[in-house]
Structure 1
Amino acid sequence: MKDIVVIKCGGSTIAELSEEFFKSVVTMQKNGKHPIIVHGGGPAINQLLQKLDIKSEFVDGLRKTTEDVLDTAEMVLCGKVNKQVVTSLHQAGGQAVGLSGCDGKLIEVKPVNEGMLGYVGEPTKVNTNLLLSLMELNMIPVVAPIGMNNEGTHYNVNADSAAGAIAKELGAEQLVFVTDVDGILKDGKCLEKVSTEEIESYIADGTIYGGMIPKVKAALSTLTGNIQSVMIMNGKSTNVGKDGSVQGTTIIKSKIKLYVS
């Protein structure tokens, strides 16, 4: 199947995604594209952990996931957040189905570092047949990043990693990171296209700074395999075309250069 677009929605932006954003995803599908949404839910997980008085900590940017934290994350991601996104797509005129990475063994994982991180998993295999079957039925898959190993143990999966794995195994045309910014700004203007090499220089000279640095680095980490470009766009604004195309900053792979010392 061609024209697959994997859209990763960060947990911090889920609650603020505009009606226009969901309409753009539905329009994208009606114009022949095949969108898949992978979402996070960090802030909502934190809120429930606080209410339940469950302590949580981060190690190298990843949430240390105990059994209690995993149970909480699964409730939030697979229940509340996933169904919010599905409902918004239905209200925008589309047909969507919510899944976790455990459904149909959609995302098989292995532990990242069980000793330090607990139940945090890294994708090893994606059930692409399940996603392709749903898209052939004109459904928009909405995936919560909870995975499972061969023994049936559930693991929390970083949403960026889940989106990257799905895009890679499906040979997606495009991977889009939906955030709360229009893209990479330079002199007050949103850059339409930049290379990975330019990204490094923009970080060094301060053009890319603050909270934008981890967003860009997360996007760069997915430029593996056949994925040649990723896009960063704002899900809270109306940066979408009438045909459902999204607008933001596209990051493309630089040509490999060899330096001899």
Structure 2
Amino acid sequence: MMKAALDGNGIHTEMAAISRTFVMKCGGSTLEELPDSFYEDLVKLQGSGIQPVIVHGGGPAISENLSKLGIETKFVNGLRYTSEEVLDVVEMVLAGSINKKIVRRIGQSSGKALGLSGVDGDLIVARPVSASAEVGLVGDVVGVNASLIEGVLKLGYMPVIAPVGVGANGQRYNINADTAAGAVASELGVQRMIVVTDVPGILKSVNGEKRVLPVVTVQQIEDMILSGEIYGGMIPKVRAAIACINGKVREVVIVDGSQPGVLGKVLAGEIIGTKIMRM
């Protein structure tokens, strides 16, 4: 965690820095579609003293590159089966092309960003998931080097993190981006994580019509997963949100990144998307 300053207001200084920081998770395909105005908003927030930390995915681009290379794509319970061969492509796409494209787009909007992989400086330390026999080199996060992220922020750069983790023996792991973002948010001790997607939030059928739920609790999410109202790629998003909220994060907000000024609206406390909160 961020160290308190040595003066009498040290603890207040630390807490103020944490409150100005938020973690944003965004899928690689969503980032591709986001308008320039989204990046301009990010840079305005950075200029105002708010510190975004970005964790990104890139599933569709990974699948596309595997297909080009003639490598089979296989999913087991929503997790990509990851061999060493697949992991080479995962790292190339996540830590390479997608990560650097995000950094470039922030730079084109006159912002300052620094791209990192979870392998850099042991930023994301991982171990095999319990189902590793079925899914291969997929990892669970066991540690986050928060001091490295805080150092990048102090230099005035926006950290852009690719979710590839590293084990104690130097083994790389493919990490679900939602899981990685949740772990980063919890370790940094931020109050809020924003999940930027291409949907307006968590939807629920009301009288045959799909409506966005403005606020949901952890128990409501569990009930909706059991009923099948939350399914597919939304499940890891909400699971990561729940894991985060059980840690130090107060709330997670799922929003549509194409909405104008969406980040500023969330940070200002406007009702937008779906807010997931503790009971």
**So what's the TM-score if we normalise by structure 1?**
0.87
Which SS does the other structure have where 2:186 is aligned? helix
Which one of the candidate residues 153, 158, 164 is aligned to 2:176? 158
Which SS does the other structure have where 2:159 is aligned? strand
The residue aligned with 2:241 is 219
Answering whether residue 83 of structure 2 is matched by residue 66 of structure 1, we say: yes
Please give the alpha-carbon distance, in whole angstroms, between the structure 1 residues aligned to 2:87 and 2:72: 12
Identity, % of aligned positions:
44
Where structure 1 has 5 or more consecutive residues not aligned to the other structure, the ranges are 255-261
Q: Number of residues paired by the alignment?
A: 253
**Shift in Å at residue 193 of structure 1?**
2.7
CA contact (8 A) 1:190 1:249 kept: yes
**Shift in Å at residue 129 of structure 1?**
0.8
The residue aligned with 1:253 is 278
Which one of the candidate residues 46, 54, 58 is aligned to 2:71? 54
Instruction: Specify which structure has the higher proportion of helix.
Output: 2
CA contact (8 A) 1:102 1:146 kept: yes
Which SS does the other structure have where 1:178 is aligned? strand
CA contact (8 A) 1:178 1:233 kept: yes
Which one of the candidate residues 123, 128, 132 is aligned to 1:114? 132
The residue aligned with 2:196 is 178
Answering whether residue 155 of structure 2 is matched by residue 130 of structure 1, we say: no
Where structure 2 has 5 or more consecutive residues not aligned to the other structure, the ranges are 1-16
Please give the alpha-carbon distance, in whole angstroms, between the structure 2 residues aligned to 1:87 and 1:213: 28
**So what's the TM-score if we normalise by structure 2?**
0.82
Higher relative contact order (CA 8 A, sep 6+): 1
Answering whether residue 215 of structure 2 is matched by residue 197 of structure 1, we say: no
**Shift in Å at residue 91 of structure 1?**
1.4
Which SS does the other structure have where 2:151 is aligned? helix
Q: Which amino acid is 2:108 matched to? A: Q
Please give the alpha-carbon distance, in whole angstroms, between the structure 1 residues aligned to 2:24 and 2:96: 19
Answering whether residue 236 of structure 2 is matched by residue 236 of structure 1, we say: no
- What pairs up with 1:17-56 in 2 under 5 angstroms? 17-56=34-73
CA contact (8 A) 1:26 1:244 kept: no
**Shift in Å at residue 194 of structure 1?**
2.8
Structure 1 residues 66 and 201, CA gap change in structure 2 (3 angstroms): closer
| Cα-to-partner distance string for 1:168-215 (whole Å, 9 max, x where unaligned) | 111012111111012234666644333233445566788x55558524
CA contact (8 A) 2:194 2:254 kept: yes
Please tell me the root mean square deviation across aligned C-alpha atoms, in Å.
2.3
CA contact (8 A) 1:49 1:55 kept: yes
CA contact (8 A) 2:67 2:73 kept: no
The residue aligned with 2:187 is 169
CA contact (8 A) 1:24 1:244 kept: no
CA contact (8 A) 2:18 2:188 kept: no
CA contact (8 A) 2:25 2:54 kept: yes
